[in-house]
Structure 1
Amino acid sequence: MAFPITSLLLFAIFLSIFLLITVPGVLVRLRANYNPKGLQLDPEDGVQPHTGPVTTSFFLMLSRVRRLEGWAGLMKGTVPTLLSYVVHSLFSAIFLDASLSSPPNHDIYNSPATTIWGTLLYCIFLPLVSLPPMIITYRSIVTPYQLPYFRPLHSLRVLLTPMERRKPWVLYLTPGLLAAELLHITYAVVGLRIIRHLLLPLLSHVDNSVPQHFSRSLTIFLAISLFSTAILCPLEVISTRLAVQRNHESAEHNSVAQEKAGDTKDFPEYSPDEDVIGLRNDTDPYLGFRDCARKIINEEGWRALYRGWWLTMFGVFATFA
């Protein structure tokens, strides 16, 4: 299948802008940062205060990452993000006849316009193919270690546990993660498309002589955007928390507990003296979708589910552009 040169150039330009905005991974670290309101228990059931960084603002996290890890730290996750985006875009272009020169066709909030069967295929494709790259991308962003760009197998020693490397399908069994992604994709691909078809006629039939029509349509648009953000943002936060949890088989730990670093001695750290973010205690992981939501609300407050909500709203806005 041949693509016009102009389409490829436009695709390359948009991809560069996309990576410049999203690759720094500030949003991933903001949502993954564990920041409980009070005390927590240590493995011996003793009470200890939380000592991790208290950073709940996107721009404060951006400043913190830049200060502790520099520009190199901001660019963590470049390679897996690039690969997953290219696969996503090529699938849309080849199987769903989406144009490479039309960036909205390659965003989860703006799935390619296709048939019902195409939409179903798209919804099935996204979680099955994009979930492992998402896990690798998120873990490569939150890891404190400097991973080589051109030695992926070497990097996987840090990003994946021995069991995950032996049995890659275990990534799909990460408790709650697939459910969170399915809910997110279903609403973003199907729900927003239905809402868009229902709302656009209201926005297109605007009578300049009757400005209240436009005011009513704008009010509906903002209400739906806020409602969609209220649904999608918590799902994105939960997916982030579950994706950075590791699966391993150990008799003395829960099967989803974060594995102790054992293959990291050859990897220098970006900031040995201070962690950029804190992660949940590896002896008390999230056990599923509902458990993750419940613990976030109980330990960090409901606002933790809406970190970076305005970025999610931008994605919703793009659906109606």
Structure 2
Amino acid sequence: MGRYILNRMVTMIPILFGISVLVFTIMHMVPGDPASIMLGTNATPEAIAAMRQSMGLDKPVVTQYLNWISGLLQGNFGESVRTGEAILPEILDRFSVTLQLSIFAAIIGWTIAVPVGIVSAVRAHTSIDVVGRIAAMLGISVPNFAFGTLLLLTLSLYFGWFPPVDYVDFWVDPAEAFKVFILPAVTMGVVLAGGIMRMTRSAFLETLDKDFIRTARAKGNTEWKVVFGHAFRNSALPIVTLAGMQIGYLLGGAVIVEQLFSIPGLGQYILDGIHQRDYPVVQGGVLFVALVFVTVNLLVDIIYTWIDPRIKY
């Protein structure tokens, strides 16, 4: 296992390198000059040229990339061209916010999806199954920004149940943090639940048709023991795989939801960097999200061996 983890960590290097090249290239292809944006429309060409020189944008693109990547290898994500502040501390602060939101959303999504998916598989082709499949399809089909806007209009503005409040860290005031996170977490969790619900139903349907399940039932085991004592663990691998991928989506794909609910997370930080042509912010933020994503995938692979001891690396 240790050798496998080491090999996986080595393979992460070319993946992250490719992502760094890609995001660096795309950011420098985006129209707009950061120096011009910072100085405004009344800036003189001389002032813009001086600003570009101070930001290092007057150097060849290859040189800019090498300078940036060499800083990353030393743990230096650079400084924001807009504020001049170090990027890594800001990324870590914003990531903690996104992580809290993602945990809330994952708890809501999995709490809904796994039980409904299991019931839908056990009661396949009944009215309960039909309702479950329709709910899963709606969860997959409705965009999170549309569902989030609907929640804001109905629950928050119309009924006044969750009025908009300023962000409060969970560890500072859990009650106020719950008010901040509940609507965006439900928005992300419901969309998350649709895919996991379908995967859970599909995995359980396949497992419940196996010979060992028929043997377990023939021995007189209760349906509860058959489902949760025999079928659950054998159905868990595809569910865990999808859950791991969706955790990466939650951490990196919360941009729209954070913008909609004014959550100061990492997604909003990267989006602001894109609007302001803040190259170091976007490059560092995207690379950090990529690092988190590949790390989560590695953890999912390790969890496989706990779920199914037959898997050896």
- Shorter-chain TM range is 0.3 to 0.5
Quick check: which one's helix share is greater?
2
Q: Which structure has the greater CA radius of gyration?
A: 2
Normalised by the length of structure 2, the TM-score is: 0.35
Normalised by the length of structure 1, the TM-score is: 0.34
